[in-house]
Amino acid sequence: KAPPKAEALAATPQTGLYSAATGSDKMTFVHLVDSKTKGVRVDPVSIPSDLIDQSRRLSEELAVDVAGACRSGIFPRNTDGWHCSARWCGYYKRCMSGQDKP
């Protein structure tokens, strides 16, 4: 499987937050791909500085939006992971708990 494109990686909040936290305008994600036929392959994906700047701005806007929502008593859900389950989330019964999933 091919590694994600730099644009897709730059579109994630993690990229912008990591860049802001480290103060770095250079970032490379390293993907280890384990293939039965070709063995382990290392695929580095460097993100250009203009995409890092864009990602940082988007992440900062997201952080401001989330902080404002939390102050208002609105907490954004993230159901894309193991944490959205009755077993792992203490708020599962208080949110939609996946009820709106198809």
Q: Kindly tell me if the per-residue pLDDT of 48 is higher than 90.
A: yes
SS3 17: helix
pLDDT for position 35: 79
Beta bridge partners of 61: none
Largest CA distance in the chain: 53
pTM above 0.75, yes or no: no
Which sign, positive or negative, has the C-alpha torsion 80, 55, 34, 2? positive
Task: Quote the CA–CA distance of 56 and 17 in Å, as a whole number.
Answer: 6
Structure tokens at 29: 């994600």
The model's pLDDT over 5-22, given as tens digits with 9 standing for 90+, comes to 999 999 888 899 889 899
